[in-house]
């Protein structure tokens, strides 16, 4: 299994909050999640640590899981990546500030079962081995001596190390050697651990095996897009096994948008919730749709506004997408997208090909 980390930074002119929102609510759902080889997909948004000032290295971290190197390479050749995720990147990410690491996971403490919307906080610690230290000795020290010290941190619920895969060293040195992930019940618990005597021992330990100037810590909040349970992947057909009645589910999402458009109370009830909460609560109220199906409908509606109604190009210069910033995503969809369509237009856009509307 390959665990890939993607470190990203906002494009010029975009605030950190706008960047994080676009990644979680637009790019991740509409484009990156469609890459069929991805078994799990998680976006982490940065939380500023107390005392942090100046420009951060990165403002978010994406995580993908692939079954093997073969699937990872296939993902880079997929139409979903080349025609979807890649063209959208300039709309939100400064690619020249990014970094990608492919790692192998080593679970030190399994902890509680991973769930959506668990409220936990995660510390990510990046490190590079000390000059002159062989890679195998660095890895063994991380997994043994160093891990024992980290396990003493108060409030630590789960602990995992990701060691950069050997392929990164084929031509030159990798940018980093290890990605540590430490989970806590809350931000306060993570900060308490960072200020503990045990953390002082961990910091001192880094000086024995890592380059101090390359040890970097990020405090993160998780947003599951695919997972935590991996989705099935059919390698023979190069497709995800998704058994659904697509037109029915898309119609259900359209009914959900229409309900939010017709009722301020419905909009207020959902507007502050993240994607996972919206899916769960909407299903309890009779609206049964998935994130993929919602993304398909949104894409059709936005394309119709941009190309047909506004006659703009589909890129960062379109008038519609500029109206997204400063608003919660559901509010934007209801007031800036759904509101631009008649009921007949809405139904015709999701009707299966060859089916008349009326």
On whether both 76 and 49 belong to a single domain, the answer is yes
On whether both 281 and 206 belong to a single domain, the answer is no
* Mean pLDDT on 194-202: 95
Q: How confident is the model at residue 353 (pLDDT cuts 50, 70, 90)?
A: very low
Residue of 195, 183, 201 whose CA lies nearest to 112 = 183
Look up residue 152 and give its DSSP letter. T
* Mean pLDDT on 271-281: 80
On whether both 168 and 121 belong to a single domain, the answer is yes
Structure tokens at 24: 């979680």
**244 pLDDT more than 50:** no
- Name the more confident of 206 and 265: 206
Distance CA 178, CA 101 (A): 9
Distance CA 314, CA 303 (A): 7
pLDDT tens digits, 279-310: 888 887 888 888 778 888 888 888 888 888 88
DSSP-assigned beta bridge partners for residue 99: 7
Which distant-in-sequence residues (6+ apart) come within 8 Å of 52 by Cβ? none
**187 pLDDT more than 90:** yes
Cis before 228? omega within 30: yes
pLDDT tens digits, 44-60: 999 999 888 889 999 99
On whether both 263 and 169 belong to a single domain, the answer is no
Look up residue 340 and give its DSSP letter. G
pLDDT reported for residue 43? 96
Q: Is residue 241 part of a domain?
A: no
On whether both 134 and 264 belong to a single domain, the answer is no
Per DSSP, the residues of 53-120 read: -S--S-SEEEEEEESSHHHHHHHHHSHHIIIIIHHHGGGTB-GGG-EEEEEEEEEEE--SPP-TT---
pLDDT reported for residue 358? 42
Q: Is residue 238 part of a domain?
A: no
DSSP-assigned beta bridge partners for residue 60: 8, 45
On whether both 32 and 100 belong to a single domain, the answer is yes
Say whether 313 sits in a helix, a strand or coil.
coil
Residue of 152, 217, 154 whose CA lies nearest to 186 = 154
**203 pLDDT more than 70:** yes
Number of domains in the chain: 2
Distance CA 18, CA 9 (A): 11
On whether both 135 and 266 belong to a single domain, the answer is no
Q: Is residue 198 part of a domain?
A: yes
On whether both 69 and 187 belong to a single domain, the answer is yes
**243 pLDDT more than 50:** no
CA–chain centroid gap for 57, Å, is 17
Percent of the chain whose pLDDT exceeds 70: 90
The mean pLDDT value of the chain amounts to: 86
Structure tokens at 29: 């759902």
Distance CA 77, CA 71 (A): 10
Q: Is residue 356 part of a domain?
A: no
On whether both 148 and 44 belong to a single domain, the answer is yes
On whether both 182 and 136 belong to a single domain, the answer is yes
Look up residue 129 and give its DSSP letter. B
**165 pLDDT more than 90:** no
At which of 233, 258, 291 does a domain end?
233
* Mean pLDDT on 200-217: 93
Q: Is residue 239 part of a domain?
A: no
Q: Is residue 190 part of a domain?
A: yes
Lowest mean pLDDT among 53-67, 230-244, 279-293, 335-349: 230-244
On whether both 228 and 262 belong to a single domain, the answer is no
On whether both 256 and 318 belong to a single domain, the answer is yes
At which of 233, 254, 287 does a domain end?
233
With residue 124 as reference, give the H or E element that holds it.
Answer: strand 121-127
- E-assigned strands of the chain? 2-8, 40-47, 60-66, 99-109, 121-127, 158-164, 178-184, 216-226, 233-234, 239-240
Q: How confident is the model at residue 238 (pLDDT cuts 50, 70, 90)?
A: very low
pLDDT tens digits, 71-112: 998 998 898 999 899 999 999 999 899 999 999 999 999 989
Say whether 170 sits in a helix, a strand or coil.
coil
pLDDT reported for residue 271? 85
At which of 233, 255, 279 does a domain end?
233
Domain of 138, in residue numbers: 2-233
Distance CA 169, CA 161 (A): 18
Q: Is residue 88 part of a domain?
A: yes
Read off the CATH number of the domain in which 105 is found: 3.30.70.100
* Mean pLDDT on 107-132: 92
Q: Is residue 358 part of a domain?
A: no
**222 pLDDT more than 90:** yes
* Mean pLDDT on 134-158: 94
DSSP-assigned beta bridge partners for residue 100: 6
pLDDT reported for residue 153? 96
54 backbone φψ class: left, alpha, beta (φ>0; ψ -120 to 50):
left
Place of tokens 């589909």: 314
pLDDT reported for residue 235? 52
């Amino acid at each position: 299994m390959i665990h890939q980390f993607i470190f990203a930074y906002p494009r010029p002119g975009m605030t950190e909050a706008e960047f994080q929102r676009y990644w979680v609510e637009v790019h991740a759902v509409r484009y990156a999640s469609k890459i069929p080889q991805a078994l799990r997909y998680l976006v982490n948004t940065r939380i500023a640590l107390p005392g942090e000032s100046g420009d951060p290295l990165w403002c978010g971290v994406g995580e993908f899981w692939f079954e093997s190197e073969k699937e990872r390479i296939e993902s880079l050749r997929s139409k979903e990546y080349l025609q979807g995720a890649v063209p959208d990147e300039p709309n939100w990410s400064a690619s020249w500030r990014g970094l990608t690491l492919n790692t192998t996971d080593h679970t030190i403490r399994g902890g509680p079962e991973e769930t959506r919307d668990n409220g936990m906080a995660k510390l990510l610690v990046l490190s590079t081995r000390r000059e002159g230290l062989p890679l195998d000795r660095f890895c063994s020290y991380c997994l043994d001596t160093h891990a024992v010290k980290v396990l003493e941190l108060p409030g630590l619920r789960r602990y995992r190390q990701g060691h950069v895969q050997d392929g990164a060293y084929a031509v030159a040195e990798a940018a980093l050697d290890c990605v540590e992930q430490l989970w806590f019940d809350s931000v306060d618990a993570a900060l308490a651990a960072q200020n503990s005597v045990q953390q002082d021992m961990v910091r001192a330990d880094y000086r024995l095996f890592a380059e101090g100037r390359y040890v970097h810590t990020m405090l993160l909040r998780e947003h599951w897009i695919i997972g935590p349970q991996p989705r099935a992947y059919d390698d023979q057909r190069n497709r995800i096994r998704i058994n659904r009645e697509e037109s029915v589910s898309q119609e259900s999402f359209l009914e959900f948008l229409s309900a939010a458009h017709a009722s301020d109370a419905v909009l207020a009830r959902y507007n502050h919730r993240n994607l996972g909460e919206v899916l769960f609560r909407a299903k309890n109220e009779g609206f049964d749709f998935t994130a993929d199906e919602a993304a398909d409908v949104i894409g059709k509606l936005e394309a119709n506004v941009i190309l047909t109604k506004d006659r703009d190009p589909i890129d960062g210069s379109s008038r519609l997408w500029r109206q997204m910033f400063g608003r919660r995503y559901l509010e934007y969809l209801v007031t800036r997208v759904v509101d631009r369509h008649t009921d007949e237009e809405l139904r015709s856009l999701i009707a299966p090909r060859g089916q008349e509307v009326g």
